[in-house]
Amino acid sequence: MKRLFTSESVTEGHPDKICDQVSDAVLDAILAQDPKAHVACECAAKTGFLMIFGEASGNFNVDYEAIARKVITEIGYDSEDKCFDGNTCDIIVHMEEQSADIAMGVNESYEVKTGSESDEFALTGAGDQGMMFGYACSETEELMPLSIKLAHVLSMRLAQVRKDGTLPYLGPDGKTQVTVEYDDDRITRIDTIVVSTQHSADVSLDQVRSDMMEHVIDPVIPAEFIDEKTKFYVNPTGRFVIGGPMGDSGLTGRKIIVDTYGGHSAHGGGAFSGKDPTKVDRSAAYMTRYIAKNIVAAGIAEQCEVQLAYAIGVAEPVSVCVDTFGTGKLDEEKIAALICENFDMRPAAIIRKLQLDKPQYRELAAYGHMGRTALGVKWEDTDKADDLRKAAGC
């Protein structure tokens, strides 16, 4: 049976991604001074201004305004003719300390308070309740879905040709979309590619469309997936001069599907950017990716989705759920048991294992948090695959 599946990505100049990157740059700056700081930093942006607000507690002293201006100008918004200027825009800052009610559960977990656990990884309780999902599949080398991988590759290529001068008329804002055709579970072709990119007013639509094919799409999309029926839509509205926060408001955490698996997996709803790793929205999402990737790398399943759920202030997850979409070599109940035997899913253990208390987050705030093997993030390691393979007898 044939079916189509679509994923999208956005460039680093998309207004939501401006906010994600500022939030994570603030987090990085704070963690550089205090790796145990508690941070929840949000941003909002519109024409001529960016607002930074939230909570942060710890031993640090950072210049929020300077961090924001640096991020905005590095993205490429450094003059008014690009619809946003990090040098002159208004920056509003309203940061407070973390709620004492939340801190009391994070700093001393339910397990420690009740005496049920006492080791070092039991101390930290989950920073919030909620459920988190991780996913992996065998479609690509990174064990990511092909549609979201290619959408990100196109967005990164848009930024590259803008910044290296190949297409200097491009603006920082842009979106991409890739539709993949499946025959049962086998990828057969790419059905549709959409590229929308901000550009200067003096460039014709014909030139934009020609340059997108020559310099963006053709160099990065594998030719074997393209056929005579593949559809290409470049700036389908006909014009994209007004971009960034002038064209649309921006907000931290509004691109959670772009950040993860392009819609190929469930999502608990919690965003990542601006949150320190005691917030399981972030740390447990990375952990579920790490677990799912190792399950697939071990050959236990071709696809794997892992759900963890937490109660605020409690270290141990309240549930572990596995779905292999019919591709598993073991019953999902047995795979869940393997996970519990081989992975410590308490927040402090996750932070230690995946090295989440160090600055590394701004780079992840554009072009996805998962599948970023080139960045050396620990949740992309497959160091547990051999142990899982042996334990499963695969």
pLDDT digits (tens, 9 = 90+) for 141-189: 999 999 999 999 999 999 999 999 999 999 999 999 999 999 998 999 9
Residue 110: predicted pLDDT: 46
Cα separation, 18 vs 372, in Å, equals 19
Cα separation, 301 vs 138, in Å, equals 9
Q: Taking the model in full, what pTM does it have?
A: 0.94
Sites in the chain below the pLDDT cut of 70: 99-123, 125
Sequence-distant (6+) residues with CB within 8 A of 52 are: 22, 23, 26, 41, 42, 43, 64, 68, 91, 92, 93, 94, 95
Helix orientation angle between 280-297 and 332-342, rounded to the nearest 10 degrees: 120
Identify whether the C-beta of residue 132 lies closer than 8 Å to the C-beta of residue 288.
yes
